[in-house]
Structure 1
Amino acid sequence: MMTNLFSVFDPSTNIFNLSLNWLSTFLGLLMIPSMYWFIPSRYHVMWNSILLTLHKEFKTLLGPAGHNGSTFMFISLFAMIMFNNFLGLFPYIFTSTSHLTFTLALALPLWLSFMIYGWLNHTQHMFAHLVPQGTPAVLMPFMVCIETISNIIRPGTLAVRLAANMIAGHLLLTLLGNTGPSLTYSILSLLIIAQIALLVLESAVAIIQSYVFAVLSTLYSSEVN
């Protein structure tokens, strides 16, 4: 019996008062294909093609002013979030990306480093971003306030978007699953079909949300150059 609707997201596995649930964050490392096989597997070839496609796209987003090798940081970010999202769909595996402590720990340092780099090295460029081109002189003070607020809440929106999407799908699956024992066989078959459809949807969300997080981080970094 759940005492709370969100209790499915609580870390409960512990030894010596140490929460072991967060170790699931590193389980994705086991899925990364080995680079030492003489003949690469199909999984290896597929993963390399995904990385190459992401590298080209992020390179385009960063533009000519982007530093060499900066795309690999965002590709690694995409891979880590995607693995964690997918692992959360398996039974009895803790979903670390559904917690704001994890998503904020990813978004806040990224945004802060972009801001510090931009304001120290491209101060005029950062000031120019506060007033969009063609803004009337009367609206300039308001635009500066709006742009500043929208800039400050960026790490929060990144973190909340990812955590909320993960929580919403998992809650829906849990709530539907809990109604199973009290249903008749005919309705239960419909419930199983609905659960399978939701799992497919959650698989798509797992990829989309990791991609959105990585792309938005890339766009934020491209603005400070």
Structure 2
Amino acid sequence: MMANLFSIFDPAATFHFPLNWGASLLGLFLIPWSYWVQPNRYSKMFLMVTSQLHLEFKTLVGPTSSQGHTLIFISLFALILFNNLLGLLPYVFTSSSHLVMTLSLAMPLWVSFMIYGWFNHTRHMLAHLVPLGTPGILMPFMVLIETISNVIRPGTLAVRLAANMIAGHLLLVLLGNQGPSMSSFLLSILLVTQILLLTLESAVAIIQSYVFAVLATLYSSEVV
């Protein structure tokens, strides 16, 4: 049963090629060329969102950030948000529910932050392993704890995003499979419940993309 339950998240497709991963690039084909050529309400709305995100991320990074420092996190937010919302459409593959996708986003960011921090701010990185005011007898344990918490950061980022996306999808699938065996009255209740869950999943898709980008921004602010 578990194999059949998770088969909806199987990235395999016909012709022995994972064609489902092409859904991540579907947005480039859906956006009309006029979006890039002339201003419209969609481009203005997207510009307002990115401007607000730039202000928030710049506050998190700090005044020492260089110009354009927040662009990578805004792009990361837009990519995850698009894939999360795209996965709510029927028969569309949700790439952000796989650890292959989420780890591919989290691991390079974390590795680049660590390399930059240890090569350019070595004293700061060493001092960060021991919080201020730690008793001398607890310093070795704090170094071990801080090191472990630092190493598992990309894993927690990836698992958080994938688990939140796959949990809601599984709940929708499990409830939807009960429809054929229900009466008309219970089916109407199930339909209302599915609509409410879909609304909740839309909010989760936005929140999780924002959380991923904010945490990545906070991790970068520790090494700048």
Task: Indicate whether the TM-score tops 0.5.
Answer: yes
Q: What residue number does 2:5 align with?
A: 5
How does the TM-score come out when normalised to structure 1?
Answer: 0.95
Alpha-carbon displacement from aligned partner over 1:175-202 (angstroms, at most 9, x marks no partner): 0000000000000000000000000000
Whole-Å separation in 1 of the counterparts to 2:161 and 2:24: 15
Whole-Å separation in 2 of the counterparts to 1:3 and 1:102: 21
Q: Which runs of 4+ in 1 moved over 3 A?
A: 30-33
Q: What residue number does 2:86 align with?
A: 87
- Alpha-carbon offset, residue 31 of structure 1: 5.3
- Give matches, 1:50-129, under 5 Å: 50-129=49-128
Q: 1:202 to 1:115 in 2, by over 3 A?
A: same
- Give matches, 1:30-45, under 5 Å: 30=29, 34-37=35-38, 40-45=39-44
SS in 2 for 1:70: coil
Tell me the amino acid that sits aligned with residue 24 of structure 1: A
Whole-Å separation in 1 of the counterparts to 2:218 and 2:134: 22
- Alpha-carbon offset, residue 2 of structure 1: 8.3
Alpha-carbon displacement from aligned partner over 1:117-143 (angstroms, at most 9, x marks no partner): 000000000001000011111111110
**Which segments of 5 or more consecutive residues in structure 2 lack a partner in the other structure?**
none
Q: What residue number does 1:48 align with?
A: 47
- Give matches, 1:174-193, under 5 Å: 174-193=173-192
- Give matches, 1:10-25, under 5 Å: 10-15=10-15, 17-25=16-24
Q: 1:109 to 1:210 in 2, by over 3 A?
A: same
**Which segments of 5 or more consecutive residues in structure 1 lack a partner in the other structure?**
none
- Alpha-carbon offset, residue 29 of structure 1: 2.8
- Alpha-carbon offset, residue 11 of structure 1: 2.0
Whole-Å separation in 2 of the counterparts to 1:147 and 1:19: 39
Q: What residue number does 1:155 align with?
A: 154
SS in 1 for 2:70: helix
Q: 1:3 to 1:164 in 2, by over 3 A?
A: closer
How does the TM-score come out when normalised to structure 2?
Answer: 0.96
- Alpha-carbon offset, residue 28 of structure 1: 2.7
